[in-house]
A and B are shown apart, each in its own frame.
Chain A
Amino acid sequence: MIAEYTRQEMMAIATGREIRDGELAIFGVGLSMLAGFFAQAHHAPRVRAMTEGGIYGATPLGGLPWGIECNRISSNATSFTSALDALGCLVASGRCDVGIIGAAQVDRFGNVNTTGIWVGGIGDAYRPPNTRLTGAGGANDIACGAKRFLIMVGHEPKRFVEKVSYISSPGYLDGDDARQRHGFVGGGPSAIITTLGILRPHPETKEFHLDGWFGFSSPDQIRHATAWDLKVLPGARPVPEPSKAELAALRKVDVTGALRKG
């Protein structure tokens, strides 16, 4: 029998499965941290986890941390340093294996917008966004510097757009080898994990294709929730449902049930 679980939990587990044991990994606020520490609790005990605040060796205590510097991630740390250290020395340097970032909007080449929504586009002259979002934060630095990064995002048509109106964090820009123009040390997004499935970049064009769907979703449903003409990778298949052990590990990290609410 398969236990009941939410879409958010499936997304967190699918993201956590992408983290390999022993990797140097940077986790961000909220879902990203839950997915990362789930991986550590379940299959990657030796993952070398940090937050961009330069908090090392810590695991969340007392529930989902309110931020990457929150006391909930500061009560069992082995080192506290700084942004310059974590995002600079360890991420922009190219040392970090994997990061997890969120998105308000993502496009077919995995470019991420977390800055603002401009109705009808920004236009030539910059103007204030109709809806101001949170800005790039450390995600731009992770997108430029981490060897690979994962994007976690709820799968809705308004979020999966043909072209984001503002690139806060670069994916593959306009595709192919566009990242090479800028000499980024990081390799780009390796997957977009959503509340409906998993998208991965085509090896040459770097356009994101459907690679997997969940027990409760289907390729058709995912195509309908995606604004670009979503193609399917050869070998795309259903993603295994969470095991009991996976759910138990995730819920141990998510003690306040943040992923079971929505």
Chain B
Amino acid sequence: MSYSKLISLAEAVRRHTRDGQQYASGAALPVGSDAVVFGRELLRQGRRDLHAIFHCSTQQLNLLAAAGAVARVECGFSGLEVFGFANGLRRAVEEGRTVLEDYSNLSMALRLLGGAMNWPFVPATVNIGSDLQYRSAFAPDEHPARHKIPAVADPFSGREIGALSPLRPALAGIHVSLADPLGNAIMLGTEWSRFELSRAAQKVILVADAIVDTACMRQFPNLVRIPDVVVEAVVWWPFGAWPQASPGLYDADEEHMKSMNQALATEEGTAAYLKRFVEGYSDVPSYLDLIGRDRVRQLAQTSTAFLIDPFRRWLQTPAEITALSASCSPAGEVYR
């Protein structure tokens, strides 16, 4: 007998987040499948002073930093790819409100792997010899930095390599395409580092665009790269990565990607954005209204839509999801 882990987004944030927490997300790249709506809820509940672990910057980190909620961040890429610099994050870093520690994209994945494996350190053949190794924003007075990627000897060859520190974030908000109520998840598109993050984090909350019956997972167990045993809670939130893309379900909202980033470039713009797009909805239907129902339909006309075809017969309706929600009773509904 298993229990549903479906809870509301508000409850997930209320129950599992706190000020100053090491919070990991952004594990699916700046234009892709990130739990952006989880970041909106962190701001709705006034969380601050976060230590963000973002493999890559996303609109979520951009927004959190612009709103002044991020004290420290560790990441591998801090831009928005073709959408340009992440203006909110950039402003926070340049003004010294957010301290950003730089790594590379591989080293962030390796550090998550190290945390997942409980390794004391991860040998690095990248990042060494560059300022990623020699400069530390967290230890500004050390030059060259001694504690960021310290040099160690390969015990076999004697060659000098780097030691990457493992990451064990207190909480991870991970966006997935499909989850069942137990917390089994399927990710369409690149997994980026969501597999490692799901094992490295001390607590994992899934934000799923769609909920499927567990029979779906039994049909495609090889695709279930995040099994329920590592998951604390499941949140259903369609278009949870908006304005970013979720392969198989919706494209990036180019117009909002640009207007959001433009707004976050200034304090006034950020305030206006928060009022409209963070405080301006109360539930899933009003969130979709805020995006615009026409826009929602248009974004769902993605050339990747065929990726979801094999799973369609198991998709749950909003009414079914509500009935399965663990929020109905403290112990959770009995599910299958």
Residues on A close to B: CB < 8 A? 29-30, 51-55, 61-62, 64-72, 74-75, 80-84, 87-88, 91-92, 111, 115, 122, 124-141, 143-145, 166-170, 173, 179, 181-185
Q: Is the CB of A69 within 8 A of B93?
A: no
Q: Is the CB of B76 within 8 A of A135?
A: yes
A87 and B159 alpha carbons, distance in the complex (Å): 22
A152 and B99 alpha carbons, distance in the complex (Å): 29
Interface string of B24-53 (1 = CB under 8 A from A): 000011111100000000000000000000
- In the complex, whether B102 has a CB less than 8 A from a CB of chain A is yes
Q: Which residues of A contact B32 (CB under 8 A)?
A: 53, 67, 69-70
- In the complex, whether B75 has a CB less than 8 A from a CB of chain A is yes
Which residue of the partner chain A has the closest CB to B84? A134
Contacts A92-B125, A134-B85, A140-B130 known; A71 to B192 CB distance under 8 Å?
Answer: no
7 A-B residue contacts at CB 8 Å?
A30-B82, A70-B32, A74-B189, A132-B94, A137-B76, A144-B129, A179-B129
Contacts A65-B82, A83-B106 known; A145 to B126 CB distance under 8 Å?
Answer: yes
Q: Is the CB of A183 within 8 A of B161?
A: yes
A93 and B189 alpha carbons, distance in the complex (Å): 23
- In the complex, whether B143 has a CB less than 8 A from a CB of chain A is yes
Q: How far is the CB of B174 from chain A (nearest CB, A)?
A: 13
Q: Is the CB of B105 within 8 A of A137?
A: yes
Q: Is the CB of B190 within 8 A of A81?
A: yes
Contacts A75-B303, A185-B125 known; A168 to B109 CB distance under 8 Å?
Answer: no
Q: Is the CB of A173 within 8 A of B129?
A: yes
Instruction: Say whether chain A's binding surface is mostly helix, strand, loop, or mixed.
Output: loop
Q: Is the CB of A115 within 8 A of B189?
A: no
A173 and B79 alpha carbons, distance in the complex (Å): 25
Taking CB atoms and an 8 Å cut-off, the chain B residues in 105-157 that contact chain A are 105-110, 113, 125-132, 135-137, 139-141, 143
Interface string of B288-305 (1 = CB under 8 A from A): 000000000000001110
Q: How far is the CB of A224 from chain B (nearest CB, A)?
A: 28
A-binding segment of B14-22, B249-257, B274-282: B249-257
Q: A66-B82, A67-B31 known; 4 other A-B pairs, CB under 8 Å?
A: A74-B304, A83-B109, A126-B140, A126-B143
- In the complex, whether B196 has a CB less than 8 A from a CB of chain A is yes
Across the interface, B304 reaches (CB within 8 A) one of A53, A71, A139, namely: A71
Contacts A70-B31, A141-B105 known; A128 to B94 CB distance under 8 Å?
Answer: yes
A25 and B85 alpha carbons, distance in the complex (Å): 26
Q: How far is the CB of A18 from chain B (nearest CB, A)?
A: 22
Q: Which residues of B contact A82 (CB under 8 A)?
A: 109, 190-196
Interface string of B232-270 (1 = CB under 8 A from A): 000000000000010100011010010000000000000
Q: How far is the CB of A57 from chain B (nearest CB, A)?
A: 13
- In the complex, whether B100 has a CB less than 8 A from a CB of chain A is yes
Contacts A29-B81, A133-B79, A144-B126 known; A69 to B192 CB distance under 8 Å?
Answer: yes
Q: How far is the CB of A237 from chain B (nearest CB, A)?
A: 33
Q: Is the CB of A182 within 8 A of B192?
A: no
Q: Which residues of B contact A143 (CB under 8 A)?
A: 130
Q: Most A CB atoms within 10 A — which of B31, B102, B127, B190?
A: B190
